[in-house]
Structure 1
Amino acid sequence: MRNSGILVANDANKDRAKAIIANTHRLGLTNTIVTNLDGRQFSEHMGGFDRCLVDAPCSGTGVIAKDPAVKSSKDDKDIQRCFTAQRQILLNAIDSINENSTTGGYIVYSTCSILVEENEAVIQYALNNRSVKLVETGLEFGVEGFTNFKGTAFHPLMKYCRRYYPHLHNLDGFFVAKLKKYSTKQGNKKGFI
């Protein structure tokens, strides 16, 4: 953005929001508003954005190589809490986007998780419940997202998503999807665009 326009950075954790403020000062950014709101209700306070990046809170299964404690510190209930919150945050991010933006209407969803429940399943939920479609990320490397996993079929364009694995890409494990909002309707009856 080259310090133009308005950038809104939000974190529900007050200490992390303070760190965002420190980083904006360190980087000399003068176009940034930092908020400390629950992402599940963000669109109740602000909206009309051209673009949104959702760096969703997750289980952290993509960083096990750096933090082996992740393996023993998470259980099924933790994973369920994560994907429930991720769905709510992603739908709220979609609701905060202006679908008529001439330069945007895009939402990027990312996690540092390799679990399908936190990634493809969350994106499929958004496709089923909001008027959005998957578009190419523009990332030239990474593994395609799953269109089918253990008998569960996902949208065929899930292949546009990108998965990254430590053993293949020499990075932390993570997932990236890009969505385009095309209407304010609250559902997509087909589930497939």
Structure 2
Amino acid sequence: MLNSKATGWSLTMGFVTLVILMGASMVQGNQETKADEIAWLVANEDMQWLGLVEMVGGLTMLVFTAGMISWIRSIDESNAPLTYASYLPLLGLVLSWVGIISSSAAANTAADNADAAYALLRLGDIGGFLGIVMMMLSFFIVGTVSYLKKSGAPVLMGLLGLAGIVGTIGVFIPAFGFVAFMLLFPVNLILVAIIGIQKVRA
């Protein structure tokens, strides 16, 4: 288990990861269909460095995951919901890495095999989506349990639990999914980063 300050700094890496990955996504732009995305990849082969940027995001995500697991276990190692919650960030990390690697592989194969690139992009989307769901579910559990146990700042923990469950459910609602991803997931990461900063300053 990490010490308090190391855990705190690690918790801030979640928002850093989001900024890195969102930045890479903004450079690529928003293509309406997978065919458009493949066409963009073929036309912009010199932009494959974006895959390296995403890998950096994957590494900061690894640091964040270590911080999440350490933080959750420091609250109460004997609590069953928290024990289960401590595995969710790791599962989210694995799924997110599947998404990152698949997307990078799609960029490398788009010019030679559009069908393979399409399949890899779909796999990347699914991996990234499920990774976010696992993360938000862990936020819900740890926030709610911490609030009930009066561990940490009640307002922060209550908001984390609330944003976590609304986001987890919201991503499956077509009309609300985009809002859940673009608003609630960043809010969750900001709340966790604030908790991390509090640990660093303690």
Higher relative contact order (CA 8 A, sep 6+): 2
Give the alignment's TM-score, normalised by structure 2.
Answer: 0.29
- Higher strand residue share: 1
Structure 1 or 2, whichever has the larger Rg, is 2
- Higher helix residue share: 2
